[in-house]
Each structure stands twice: as structure tokens, then as C-alpha cells.
Amino acid sequence: MKNQITNALSNFFFEYETPRQVLVRNRRVGVVCRLIQLLVLAYIIGWVFIYEKGYQSTDTAVSSVFTKMKGVGYTKVDGRESVWDVADYVFPPQGDSSFVVMTNYIITEGQMMKTCPEVCKMLHFCALFSLFFPLKSEAKFSVGVIRQMTGMCVNETHTCEVLAWCPIEDDRKIPDPPLLMSAENYTLFIKNSITFPLFGVTSNLVESVDAKYISQCLYDPKDSPLCPIFRLGDIVNLSGFNFSTIAREGGAIGIVVDWTCNLDLDVKKCKPKYNFHGLYGNPNETDKARASVGYNFRYAKHYMEDSKEKRTLLKVFGIRIDIIVQSLARKFDIIPTLTAIGSGVGIFGVATVVCDLVLLYLLPKREFYKNMKFKYTETHEEVS
């Protein structure tokens, strides 16, 4: 055992292997080798360098988005005329990258905190309810709405009496057509600033977009693809929606600003592309059993009248717009170039491995090739 261990250590430390080059004149093996090398070369050039741009470094942008809506809406409800400006129909008004444009609403004016009959979709609901909850309780469940019940029934309406902001909002009928159809002609201005910190490149609006151009342009995918001013109706249509349908109950649209730039070219060629995607509110969705349709929320305007607090409640139906910036910049760099070349050279070894397997294990003359490929030598040292 001791001699075996000694011989193993001696062989490990005092022997050296070197590759032996054998020129094999075999057409089949030669064709296989060249085909594999050709495929590897095509992969390196076509995929690594041309498609994946393996010779370039990449960076994503740090971006900022500022928005501004313009336009005036007009409504005439029950003979009452109203004019709606940006402060009335945009939520929130700070110019964020995500906001809502009101297109329809249900208004409940002059609400006061007092007791009044609940609005109920089921006749005689209160009589049934009082059998189980005859006493005054806190925040009982009433047709999907949380109210402060008084435990009393209102015979005139056959509904429960509640302590709430009265009169209670009745949102069972949504205005159709939408009250603010004029929103279709509102305009949206998107100001997007990006910085690629790795390359030290900053871009705002492209060079051809100046103040004079902005004052005259309106976005069009073909004629004015760089104009940052968009008509709301065009945004809805480009997202695949119908304006009158989505305006009635609301929905959501995503605007993707795509900055994909090759900085090996002139920086002036780094220009944004706009894409529009309907997120929800699709008019083709006909399933009326969905739990929640469209997009809506409520907000209230509080005021004092005769020393009493009152409010005007609006249930707002609108188009939610989310602006998403996608970015990727590429530029030549020696380090990824050398890495790609080194990886390609390493992959060339696949051809040698495959051909060796064919020679040594598949061909009829495999023993002959083994003897030609491997040579064993021993060195005998003289003992003095």
C-alpha cells in the first residue's frame, strides 16, 4: 500500500502531459469538424455580436416625467350649465406620471350629516333586516355599503334609516352618454427627461422639438412621431379602445415612452418612441358579471352654509393614464468585446471534442486512432 501511494504521488508530481497533434485524413470527420466550426462562427457573429450587441456595454436611464393637461369641458345637466377646467377634471393636479382625467360623474349636492332613508336596490329590505337586527347597531351591512344604522325603518321608502351624509348618493344609473364627452379633445403634454449615468448622456426633448414646433404640433404616429402633445381621443383610439365606451365607466391606459439608444451613433439619433396599451376598460369585454367594471372613485368638496357643514359628493368615472419609461442605451466597450471573443474561442473547442468522440468511439478504426492519438513514454533514471 505504501508503495502504491508513493508511486501515485511520484506520477502526479513528476509526470507531464502534452497534447499530441494528429492529422486525420477522413472526409466524414473533416466535414463534421468544419460544419461545427461554421455553426459556432455563425453563432458568435450573428447572435453574440449582431443581435445581442455583445461588444457594447449597456445602461438604463434615470428618468423623470412631468405632464400637463389642457382643455375646457362643458356640461348642461337639468338646465344647469357648468364649465370644467383642468383644476376640476384632473386628479391629482400636480402633473404626475399617473393621473386620472374625469369623463363622467354622478353628483350629490347639499349633503349634511343627519338621519335619512337608505337608498336600497331591494324592496322591503328593511322589514327583513329588522327581523334579525331590531336594535340600533354600529355599521351594519346594507346592500354592499357600510352605513351607521339607527335600527328604524322608513315606511315611505321601505328602506333602513341611517346616520350618514344625506341625501344618500344614488349611483344606480350612470349617465349615458358620458357628461364630459368634450374630454376627447383635451390635450396632454408629456415632458420626459432621462440620464444614462454610465455614459454621461442626458436628453430632454429631442433637438428638433423646440418651442415653435411644440406650439404647432399634435402627435401622429406617422406624421409627427416626436411631438410630445397628445389628443386624449387619439390616445384612447391608439390603445384599441372606443372613447364613448371607456368614458362612460372609466378605464386605464398605459403610455410607454421607449428610449432605446445606440450611443455609438450620434446622440441626436437617441429619440423616444411612444406606445399605447389598453390596460382595462376594453369595450370588447361583455362579461357583465365582473366584480368591478371600469374605473371610478369619490371625492367631496366641503363648505359651510348657515353655520352648518355641508358637502358636494362626486363619484368620478375617468380614464387613468400611467406613463411608463423604458430605456436601454448601448455603447462600444473593449471589456465586453474581449469577453465575447474569448467565449467564442472557447466554444470552438466543441468541434474538437465531438470529432474526438467520433474518432475514438464510433469509427471502425477507432483502436488505430487511439494508438495514433495517445503515446505512453517512461523515463528510467539511473541509480548511481
Instruction: List, in sequence order, every residue forming a beta bridge with 64; answer none if it has no partner.
Output: 193
Verdict on whether the full-model pTM lies above 0.75: no
What does each C-alpha distance from 356 to 31, 132, 351, 352 come to in angstroms? 13, 87, 9, 6
The answer to whether 337 touches 321, Cβ cutoff 8 Å, is no
Cα 229 from Cα 147, distance rounded (Å): 45
Cα 117 from Cα 158, distance rounded (Å): 9
The answer for residues whose C-beta is within 8 angstroms of residue 253's C-beta and 6 or more apart is 235, 236, 239, 241, 276, 277, 278, 279, 281, 319, 320, 321, 322
Q: Per-residue confidence of the chain (384 residues) as pLDDT tens digits? A: 778 888 778 777 777 776 666 677 777 778 888 888 888 888 888 888 888 788 888 888 898 899 999 999 999 888 888 999 999 999 988 788 899 999 999 999 999 999 888 876 544 455 555 554 554 444 444 444 556 777 788 877 778 888 889 998 888 889 989 999 999 999 999 988 889 998 888 877 666 677 888 888 999 999 899 899 999 999 999 998 989 889 999 999 999 999 999 888 888 888 899 999 988 765 555 545 455 678 999 999 999 998 999 999 999 999 999 999 999 998 888 888 888 788 877 887 887 788 877 777 777 777 777 776 766 666 555 444
CATH fourth-level superfamily of 24-55+333-373: atp-gated p2x4 ion channel (1.10.287.940)
Third-level CATH fold of 59-136+146-284+292-328: atp-gated p2x4 ion channel fold (2.60.490)
Cα 97 from Cα 193, distance rounded (Å): 12
Distance from chain centroid for Cα 180:
29
Q: Residue 143's closest CA among 165, 126, 167?
A: 126
What is the residue type of 43? Y
What is the residue type of 11? N
Domain boundaries, the chain: 24-55+333-373, 59-136+146-284+292-328
Pairing mode of beta strands 56-59, 308-332: antiparallel
Q: Residue 314's pLDDT is what?
A: 93
Is the preceding omega at residue 177 within 30 degrees of 0, hence cis? yes
C-alpha cell at 117: 332613508
Q: Residue 377's pLDDT is what?
A: 61
Which residues participate in the annotated binding site for ATP? 68-70, 187, 296-298, 315
Cα 186 from Cα 199, distance rounded (Å): 38
Cα 326 from Cα 261, distance rounded (Å): 11
Which residues participate in the annotated binding site? 68-70, 187, 296-298, 315
Cα 195 from Cα 204, distance rounded (Å): 9
Cα 338 from Cα 327, distance rounded (Å): 25
Q: Residue 328's closest CA among 191, 198, 192, 189?
A: 198
Phi, psi dihedral angles at 182 (to 5 degrees): -65, -15
Q: Residue 112's pLDDT is what?
A: 93
Q: How many CB atoms lie within 10 A of CB 149?
A: 24
